[in-house]
A and B are shown apart, each in its own frame.
Chain A
Amino acid sequence: MVGDFVFATAMYDSGDWESAPSLPANLIDSVARYTSLPVSPKGVNVGLGTEELFRYPFIWLTGHLPVRFTDQERLNVKRYVERGGFMVVDDHNHDIDGIFHKTVTQEITRTLGPMKAVPKSHEIYHCFFEFKDGPPATSHELNGWGDQLIHKELFAINGPSGRIGLLYSSKDYSSEWNFGPDTKKFMEVDPTRFGVNLIVYALTR
């Protein structure tokens, strides 16, 4: 249906873009569960170097392996952010300063300039669910013991008028949220709620 929110996953030439196959369905389920937004039941995979990218103002990019954008991908990412798109880049590795982190942050800096830390007061932590301590911790980094010590903040590149255009996370939400939606009923707190905040922020700011 025209106007429905469609969850898009970025396909890029290098690396393993498809490393979190259950994440889209899980976040779509959360959006439908917690909000009344019209949402497409299926996500799409979109080539980062294609014009189709611009039909999806929210896009998720993840992987474990080194990332090297092609010239077209780099150009598209720059235009995407400048035009008001919202790209989330998440490091799917559990380690510290892994190869995805090193290479993708190099690419982001080369394409869009240096990233800045997102303060805990930012709307992204408060626009729907409340995360007063900033980005929620994941259970994967150092088996859940050290995530908030190592990865205290998310980083961002702002688009027009100071809105976040690219959000970078080393927290491995791609592992944290990469489970079947039915599993949520066994959880005390649904970890994908922060994913809902990301989508609500993208749709309303």
Chain B
Amino acid sequence: MEGGRRRTLEWVLRGVSLVLLVLLIWQALHALSERPASRAEGSAIPKALARWSTSESPAQADVVFDSATVPPPEVRDWLAALRHTGTRTSWFAPALSASAIHVSPVPDPKRSVRIWVAAPGGSAVKIRDQLGVIDSTAVRAGEGVVFTTSHVNGIVQASLGDKAAGSAASSVLRDSLTVRPVLVLGIAGWEGKFVLASLQEHGWKVDGRFALAPSGDVRQGATTIRIDTAHYSAVIAIDSSATKYARQIGEYVRDGGGFIAVGEAASVGAFASLLPGSAGAPLESAPFEADTLHQRNALALAPIRSLKKGAVAVESRDVKEGRIVAVAAQRVGRGRVLQVGYLDDWQWRMGGIGEPATQYRDWWSRMVSSVAYAPRSRVTSDASVEPTPVATLVATLGPPVNHAATHGSILQDPRLLPLLFALLMSTLFAEWASRRLRGLP
């Protein structure tokens, strides 16, 4: 090599050596001022926590939960406590999916528990209680899922996919409802008969008073009627014969009772102050179609018009003139009122397509359930549950941090020290060798 070029190379090697020396000194000084960072993954976390709390005292403790299981409360709380001792903590869980569960009672004899689950779209949710699996389904994007069941035993868990039950969001039923009988009032006829029969078949206790003759009514259930919240969860008026109870029904609703006016009763003036709207001119019935909702669309209907402020449409039907309301609801005092515009809806049960008796029964039960007065009482439970496990984790430890993505400058990585030292020695050796080959000392 030409002498000029070699001298230049030697100057470059000296320069590089100087830079490496500065870096090494800077790293050494940095390491002196910083306590070490430490990291633990998966099953090593509990031991690391013990170490970090005793022999080590890292400046930074990073944990990676490597399963879909939310860490147990003791790990979570330990990490949080570590943070308060001055150690920065961070966590990351690449396999963890957020989920939430809520279990609530429903005033319904057959489906008395409703389970709400929120989970990422596309995930498969399995619900189980302490007796076994209750149900499973797939979550559609942007939607949660709701399960109903007759009862649950102990802790209810929602697990995602085939993961272990321990990874689930969990909750318990914390309230129970006191459900009282339903009273059906009307003239003896098919509407009253089928409403009463369907509710009884669904498991409701039902009292009936059907006007039949000047000499008296036909009774079902209790011999005397006391329309108050101590005796009835809901009252259903079928026709104008129920107006003789209008005053009691008004007081009952304002005290919290549920009231449903159907058919002719949904258009009588005596109930006007309670009803969400006024009944329009009846539309005739049509042949039944296979779809469940369309089957109700085939029923004769007195559309509910002029909804009052605060009233809501529960069911609607599209007709040539636009959308008309078939069922409306509103609160009156502490009670709830449903106005059902369908006329002779029993024809759906008798003449509908598929399983109309079951559909009719379920629909009427849902209607009653939606207004029923059912006082709650607290159920004592000392079960440890995690209704929102990931949210709880975030609330305790802060949001997750992906170490791989957020690590500091590579120059601060202490693992570079040996490499930098080796490079320094190599450049110094090369510079020394070059000089010696030129015959210089």
- Give the interface of A toward B (CB within 8 A): 2-3, 5, 34-38, 51, 54-55, 57, 80, 82-85, 127-128, 160-161, 163, 200, 202-205
Contact = CB atoms under 8 A, between A and B. Distances in A.
A158 to B, nearest CB: 12
B314 interface: no
24 contacts: A2-B343, A3-B190, A3-B263, A3-B264, A5-B190, A35-B212, A36-B212, A36-B213, A38-B189, A54-B350, A57-B193, A57-B194, A82-B357, A83-B349, A83-B350, A127-B218, A160-B201, A161-B197, A161-B200, A200-B188, A202-B193, A204-B188, A204-B218, A205-B220
Contact of B190 (A34, A57, A161): A57
A82 B200 CA distance: 15
Nearest to B219: A204
A128 B212 contact: yes
Contacts, number: 85
Given A5-B189, A35-B212, A36-B214, A161 B344 contact: no
Nearest to A56: B350
Given A5-B189, A161-B197, A161-B200, 9 more contacts: A37-B189, A38-B187, A57-B350, A83-B356, A84-B198, A160-B197, A200-B188, A203-B188, A205-B193
A22 to B, nearest CB: 24
A203 B218 CA distance: 10
Contacts of B213: 34-36, 128
A193 to B, nearest CB: 12
Contacts of B189: 3, 5, 37-38, 203
B211 interface: yes
Most B Cβ at <10 Å: residue of A127, A128, A203:
A203
Given A3-B189, A34-B213, A55-B350, A205 B300 contact: no
Interface of B: 187-194, 197-198, 200-201, 208, 210-214, 218, 220, 239, 263-264, 300, 343-344, 346-347, 349-351, 356-357
A35 to B, nearest CB: 5
B212 A85 contact: no
Contact of A2 (B344, B349, B357): B344
Nearest to A52: B351
B357 A204 contact: no
Contacts of B350: 54-55, 57, 80, 83-85
Given A2-B300, A54-B351, A84-B349, A203 B214 contact: no
A178 B187 CA distance: 28
A27 B194 CA distance: 22
Report whether over half of chain B's contact residues are helix, strand or loop; otherwise say mixed.
Answer: helix
A57 B346 contact: yes
Contacts of A84: 193-194, 197-198, 349-350, 357
Contacts of B239: 3
A91 to B, nearest CB: 26
A184 B406 CA distance: 99
B359 to A, nearest CB: 11
Contacts of B300: 2
Top 3 A-B residue pairs of the complex, sorted by shortest distance between their CB atoms: A54-B351, A54-B350, A203-B188
Contacts of A161: 197, 200-201
A204 B192 contact: yes
Contacts of A85: 350
Contacts of A34: 213
B208 A204 contact: yes
A54 B193 CA distance: 15
Contact of B211 (A36, A80, A127): A36
Given A161-B197, A203-B188, A3 B344 contact: yes
A205 B197 contact: yes
A37 B212 contact: yes
Contact of A204 (B200, B210, B347): B210
B358 to A, nearest CB: 10
A202 B192 CA distance: 11
A163 B200 CA distance: 11
Contacts of A160: 197, 201, 357
Nearest to A37: B188
A26 to B, nearest CB: 18
Contacts of B347: 54-55
A3 B211 CA distance: 14
A205 B118 CA distance: 43
A2 B350 CA distance: 16
Nearest to B351: A54
B269 to A, nearest CB: 19
A64 to B, nearest CB: 29
Contacts of A36: 187, 211-214
Contacts of A3: 189-191, 239, 263-264, 344
